[in-house]
Amino acid sequence: MAASAQTDQSRFSMKSFCIGLCAVALIYAILFGIALSNSDETQEALQNRLASMTVLVDNKGQLSFQIQSENSDHTDTDHTDAPDTTTDPQTGPESTKELNLEDLVSQQSKALREAPVEGFYEETAAGRLPIAKSTTQTPFLIYSKPYVLNKNKPYISIVINDFGLSESLSREMIETLPSSVTFILSPYSTKPNEWIAKARADGHEVWLNLPIENKNFPLSDPGTKGLLTRVSLQYNQDRLEWILSRADGYTGIAAYTDDALKNAGSVFDKMVRNMFGRGIGFLEMNTENDSFFLPIAQKLNTPRAHSTAAIDVLNEDNASVKAVYAAINRDGHAVAVVSPSPVNIGALESWMQSMDQDGIASVPLSAVAAPDTERN
């Protein structure tokens, strides 16, 4: 009788154990399911947090990161590498917070956030146009590639022109070049949004080319939608809006401007001010000092950069390549605009490796154009 009771006791304990084990397994399964369902939201939140940082680098090499304060009226947080800039220059963000440097660097190679970002565009008759939320929340900042800039080390921004015109070349650029290389999208691309999305998914920052008349016109033709000096303001304004609405997600515009625009100075001055008021950056591709847009960008404190050299054929004997090294030796930095070709893309990989071995860092264009970056 006693033996029978002991057997029943053992059976009862084993049954309880199994029930408890199953309950624990069920709880873990539920928790895993919840975590899995929220993984995409968690990843996006982390990426948005990273993309809302503006890197500040002082002359002592100390790093701090300005974090955009979160607005309660929208769900997206915003680049940094991230203004109502209708007339206001960019000012410092609203709050500051330390970020682990290793964490930031480890995320630089990941895809940039998808475009468009809600609140940074407006719908118009021409299409979607970029717009700034405030002086600390701009398309330049929201679409720039996060990057920690060390001004005590020489650096170069390598920019490839005419992205999106040739499908084979554009694909090769994305697949073979480091993500620090910046692309300039042609507005004449037949699939502009698709190319921007692919480039950003691979970590590349993209700027938009603004074709415009220069001193070499008509030999240098800006194309069917290029801005011209001998036409009305409305004619140019319509073309400008067509160009700006071609794609979402570009950090700024790149243009070759010179004093040929003085023939219609008042017209272009007004258009340029309105364009920069949208909170986008500017790259002057004219390597000379007769830029028409650059002085306006300086007055408005628009994020800006000036091309050091235009490289048609990439080899060390090229005068433009020598000009790049001269600028780095003189100023500590340079911006090189490279023409796309199979030869140049192949040579670019070797050139960047060589510069890296020489201690020259490759940085996205926004790192040079950012308002806190020292300029010539």
In a domain, 239, yes or no: yes
Beta carbons of 336 and 352 less than 8 angstroms apart = no
Residue 88: strand pairing partners: none
Share of the chain above pLDDT 70, in %: 70
Token digits of residue 54: 């503006």
Token digits of residue 330: 């003189």
pLDDT tens digits, one per residue of 201-252:
999 999 999 999 999 998 889 999 999 999 999 999 999 999 999 999 999 9
Considering the chain, what is the average pLDDT of its residues?
A: 80
pLDDT of residue 49 exceeding 50 = no
In a domain, 210, yes or no: yes
Q: Whose CA is closest to 279, among 250, 256, 307? A: 250
In a domain, 41, yes or no: no
Q: Whose CA is closest to 366, among 118, 112, 190? A: 112
Q: Where are the beta strands (DSSP E) in 146-205?
A: 155-163, 182-185
Query: Is it true that the peptide bond before 116 is cis, omega within 30 degrees of 0?
Result: yes
The H or E element containing residue 26 is helix 2-37
Look at residue 236 in the predicted model and tell me its pLDDT.
Answer: 95
102-107-108-110 Cα dihedral, nearest 10 degrees: 160
Token digits of residue 67: 């974090």
Sign of CA dihedral 199, 109, 71, 93: negative
Confidence of residue 24 (pLDDT cuts 50, 70, 90): low
Domain containing 248 equals 51-369
pLDDT of residue 7 exceeding 50 = no
pLDDT tens digits, one per residue of 285-326:
999 999 999 999 999 999 999 999 999 999 988 999 999 999
Confidence of residue 12 (pLDDT cuts 50, 70, 90): very low
Tell me which DSSP letter residue 224 carries.
T
Tell me which DSSP letter residue 178 carries.
-
Q: What is the mean pLDDT of residues 173-197?
A: 97
Q: What is the CATH number of the domain that holds 197?
A: 3.20.20.370
Sign of CA dihedral 167, 172, 174, 177: negative
In a domain, 22, yes or no: no
Per the structure, the count of domains in the chain is 1
pLDDT tens digits, one per residue of 244-274:
999 999 999 999 999 999 988 888 999 999 9
Question: The pTM is what?
Answer: 0.73
DSSP string, 270-325: HHHHHHHTTS-EEEE---SS--SHHHHHHHTT--EEE-SEEESS-STTSHHHHHHH
pLDDT of residue 72 exceeding 70 = no
Tokens 């928790």 correspond to what residue? 31
Highest mean pLDDT among 9-13, 109-113, 129-133: 129-133
Look at residue 81 in the predicted model and tell me its pLDDT.
Answer: 39
In a domain, 43, yes or no: no
In a domain, 160, yes or no: yes
In a domain, 240, yes or no: yes
In a domain, 131, yes or no: yes
Residues whose CB falls within 8 Å of the CB of residue 288, separated by 6 or more in sequence, listed in order: 258
